[in-house]
Structure 1
Amino acid sequence: MEKKYRVGIIGATGKGNYGHGLDTAWLDVPQTEIVAVVDENEAGRTAAAERLKCSNTFSDYRMMMDSVRPDIVAICPRWIDQHADMLMAAVERGIHCYIEKPFCRTLAEADQIIRAAEMSHVKISIAHPTRFSPVTNRLKALIQEGAIGQVLELRGRGKEDVRGGGEDLWVLGSHVMDMMLALGFEPEWCFADVQNAGHRVAASDVYNGNEGIGLLAGDAIRAVYGLRQGMTASFQSYRNAGGRPSRFGLQIFGSKGVAEILEGTLAEVWILQDPSWNPGRGGGEWKRVSSAGIGEPEPLTDQKYQSRNVLAIEDLIDSIENQHEPKCGMYEGRRIVEMIAAIFEAHRQGRPVPLPLEIRENPLSLMVNAG
């Protein structure tokens, strides 16, 4: 008989709420049952209890952990200033975690969480849906098989809405960084320029960002990563420069064509097998890629492939039972935080910085302290 995993849901109404469906996803996983709901906001707690069909509610997550002793907690709030404290409370009690992205605010927080999780043998999985997508796996295989030839460069962009620049980098750029890593690309250095209102960001441009991000800056991000494989990857975001359809995603340019991947559980992937990269000139045609291959209909139609979180939850349970690292676990979460931090550190130093970074705090705090 399968073990039934007891799950505590942690939300924060008005402070990141319940993320992108991290609370309700467990209702679609038969191997789990929701045994407690936490929200310091009474109205939010009542609504969540009704939504999640769970009458056992708490206003304090530590009290819930000590009283209920769940197997897993879902740390749902989008605001990341709460993530480290919630994660530390769980891992110190030996409780596995599924958490909304981004992982945490700084490398120092990530290091602390990882040390504690290693000591308590706890698994942590981060909600980057594209990492768990069967279509992502198919694209990775196609690239390795040479479907677009020799990879020459990668280009990533955020949503470039009102959050464009630094906030877009953290909130949506974290997905783009995850896509790069999921496809097997390994950043070794970063060079970047962060702009605000047309000038290089200085200490006077630094402010406390939305969603608990902490110190933040920039309405334009221009960053390049040197990859171990020998090519470069870029990430750019300009405030209010987005369009419809959005350019948010990652493009991989090769000697024989281009592939594009967008964020999602059944990630939207397209491929252009045309060395000119221009179908108007080269005569190529953009084709949709499914988990079955180029131009093939998508065979995966189960409801779980429409959920942002069920595949990640199944992977977390498998990692607990079979003692492996989740596909997007704490080490990958730290690498994503590092790729983001590297942009601000490269800007601060005015030169390329090697990865992994030596500094563990927010580079913008060093800029502010230096005046």
Structure 2
Amino acid sequence: MAEQYRVAIIGSTGRGNYGHGLDTVWHEIPQTEVVAVADDNAEGLAAAIKKTGAAKGYADYAQMLKQEQPDIVAIGPRWIDRHHEMVLACTEVGAHMYMEKPFCRTMAEADEMVKAVEATHVKLAIAHQSRYSPVLTAIQKMIAEDKLGTLLEIRARGKEDRRGGAEDLWVLGTHVLDLMRALAGDARSCNARMTNKGQPVTKADVTPGGEGLGPLAGDGLSATYVFDNNVNGYFSSYRNQAGNPRRFGLQIFGSKGIAELFTGYLVPGYYLPDSSWSPGRSGAQWVPITSNGPGKPESLDGGNLHSGNVAAVEDLIAAIEEDRLPLGNIYNAAGATEMIHAVFESHRQKGPVEFPLKNRDHALTMLD
């Protein structure tokens, strides 16, 4: 068991940078020391060395890994076109990983990443920060204690800003899809439809996506999933339809009431103890949910991205020392990614598809 973990950070200024604080979280973790940072942009590298306090800087992350042999690597770029190669490179030096979402571009890449992590017995945690939320834990406890009754369905939406549709599904939907899996288990099937200006997406609509996402198409989509125990899940996103306050999050409907959970760390949830799901009919009121449960005051501090990163890294280190999976582990990351690709594949097939997906490549490259 290491008393001090040597951390190396991978960034790429102008191509995803350092994610949402994956370069600075280590200042709060006393068991870690940032020994090196890599950035293929010279100005970005100089700034990163100053910001992180790294002892060394590298233009080539592969050289850094080989030279430094770190215990943990922060894979920071938000762009996902090199996530696959970065994860494989980390496994080659036996380094554990904390990486920015989304996970990777295709299920073929995901399969290789899972195989490499399993073969080398390293731990990978993904920055799905809501997975670490104490409010999520409180809602899971409510479900276990039957406060919601039988879990019937989950309704989720993305941010629905200018990225609404497939880009929203990728960049932001990955958070809520991961939350759906945390609450309902594995997805078993998906039936989805993608549209562009109200018409079904075709091959002519497919364009290269930003942030290394790969092929994208359309400005709207809706998907219905079936999870374990026949729980139904729904995700939808349409461009420029964001609310204020926004709807980015999910609602969990049970036979006895509803729980509402938004994305982020320590963001309050809400509980409606009403089997009719209609407070106007029953007179029931929405009750805030904190880390201590419904209707109880919050006793924890910190509800921002930095707090979520700290929780994730502390859990990763505990997972390393206890030889267990992190909460936001590689299987959960791959599971959310498969739910994304199921939308593309179902649209291509013009009907429901089952998990695991038979097609491990990108369905949007195969449209008629």
Q: How does 1:82-101 map to 2 (within 5 A)?
A: 82-101=82-101
Q: Which moved more, 1:225-234 or 1:340-349?
A: 225-234
Question: Contact (CA 8 Å) 2:25, 2:306: kept in 1 or not?
Answer: no
Q: Separation in 2 of the partners of 1:33 and 1:306?
A: 18
Q: Deviations over 1:149-194 (max 9, x none)?
A: 2222110000000000000000010001110111243311000000
Q: Separation in 2 of the partners of 1:308 and 1:231?
A: 28
Q: How does 1:101-116 map to 2 (within 5 A)?
A: 101-116=101-116
Q: Deviations over 1:301-321 (max 9, x none)?
A: 279996121111111111111
What is the CA distance between 1:12 and its match in structure 2? 0.7
Aligned to 1:175: 175
Question: Contact (CA 8 Å) 1:92, 1:117: kept in 2 or not?
Answer: no
Q: How does 1:200-211 map to 2 (within 5 A)?
A: 200-211=200-211
What is the CA distance between 1:2 and its match in structure 2? 6.3
What is the CA distance between 1:299 and its match in structure 2? 1.6
Question: Contact (CA 8 Å) 1:266, 1:306: kept in 2 or not?
Answer: no
Question: Contact (CA 8 Å) 1:287, 1:294: kept in 2 or not?
Answer: yes
* Structure 1 residue ranges without an equivalent (≥5): none
- Report the AA paired with residue 317 of structure 1: I
- Report the AA paired with residue 232 of structure 1: N
Question: Contact (CA 8 Å) 2:191, 2:352: kept in 1 or not?
Answer: yes
SS in 2 for 1:34: strand
Q: Separation in 2 of the partners of 1:73 and 1:147?
A: 41
Question: Contact (CA 8 Å) 2:95, 2:122: kept in 1 or not?
Answer: yes
* 1:195 corresponds to 2:195: yes
What is the CA distance between 1:280 and its match in structure 2? 2.5
Residues 354 and 149 (structure 1), Cα distance of their counterparts in 2 relative to 1, 3 Å cut: same
Q: Separation in 2 of the partners of 1:273 and 1:267?
A: 20
Query: What TM-score, normalized to structure 1?
Result: 0.96
* 1:235 corresponds to 2:235: yes
Question: Contact (CA 8 Å) 1:342, 1:353: kept in 2 or not?
Answer: yes
Aligned to 1:258: 258
* Structure 2 residue ranges without an equivalent (≥5): none
Aligned to 2:214: 214
Q: Deviations over 1:197-218 (max 9, x none)?
A: 1110111111111110001112
- Report the AA paired with residue 28 of structure 1: E
Q: Deviations over 1:34-62 (max 9, x none)?
A: 11011111111111111112241111000
SS in 2 for 1:308: helix
Q: Which moved more, 1:166-175 or 1:48-57?
A: 48-57
Q: Deviations over 1:65-93 (max 9, x none)?
A: 11111101100010010111111111111
What is the CA distance between 1:267 and its match in structure 2? 3.5
Q: How does 1:33-182 map to 2 (within 5 A)?
A: 33-182=33-182
Q: Separation in 2 of the partners of 1:173 and 1:206?
A: 19
Q: Separation in 2 of the partners of 1:160 and 1:309?
A: 25
- Report the AA paired with residue 109 of structure 2: E
Q: How does 1:308-347 map to 2 (within 5 A)?
A: 308-347=308-347
Q: How does 1:278-317 map to 2 (within 5 A)?
A: 278-301=278-301, 307-317=307-317
SS in 2 for 1:44: helix
Taking only aligned residues, the RMSD between alpha carbons, in angstroms, comes to 1.5
Aligned to 2:30: 30
SS in 2 for 1:194: strand
- Report the AA paired with residue 270 of structure 2: W
Question: Contact (CA 8 Å) 2:344, 2:363: kept in 1 or not?
Answer: yes
- Report the AA paired with residue 113 of structure 1: M
Q: Deviations over 1:247-297 (max 9, x none)?
A: 000101122211111111213311111222222332111111111111111
Query: What TM-score, normalized to structure 2?
Result: 0.97
Question: Contact (CA 8 Å) 1:21, 1:308: kept in 2 or not?
Answer: no
Question: Contact (CA 8 Å) 2:184, 2:227: kept in 1 or not?
Answer: no
What is the CA distance between 1:234 and its match in structure 2? 0.3
Question: Contact (CA 8 Å) 1:305, 1:311: kept in 2 or not?
Answer: no
Question: Contact (CA 8 Å) 2:264, 2:304: kept in 1 or not?
Answer: no
Q: Separation in 2 of the partners of 1:231 and 1:303?
A: 30
Q: Separation in 2 of the partners of 1:193 and 1:42?
A: 44
